Amino acid sequence: MTRAQQTVSIGLLFASTQLYLALFLQLIPLPSIISEEIIPVLPLWALVSFGSYLLAKLGYGVLTFNDVPEAHAELMKEIDLAREDLRTKGVEVD
């Protein structure tokens, strides 16, 4: 991450926090149903959405692992090396 990207990310985080606080403290007028029922649960909603996104991304990465031939070949070589090392130490590996 470059310095510019980091600065923009921190700026967006700060701006979104300020906007949320202004909405939560009702400094920006909204209809009462929105300010009483939606705004208080926005942080929880954002956390759950971010977690769901990360889990989906992880699941897709696991699902498509065999589509990365270099990583698959490297992992298989490491498994073979570990088996050889265990056999030299007298451990039976199948």
Statement to judge: residues 49 and 81 lie in one domain: yes
Statement to judge: residues 88 and 71 lie in one domain: yes
What are the Cα distances from residue 23, in Å, to 10, 26, 32, 38, 54?
A: 20, 5, 11, 10, 27
Average pLDDT over residues 60-68: 81
pTM of this prediction exceeds 0.85? no
Structure token digits, residue 18:
């300020």
Statement to judge: residues 54 and 88 lie in one domain: yes
Identify the pLDDT of residue 61: 87
Domain residue limits at 68: 39-93
Statement to judge: residues 47 and 79 lie in one domain: yes
Read off the pLDDT of residues 28-54 as tens digits, 9 standing for 90 and up.
999 999 999 999 999 999 999 999 999
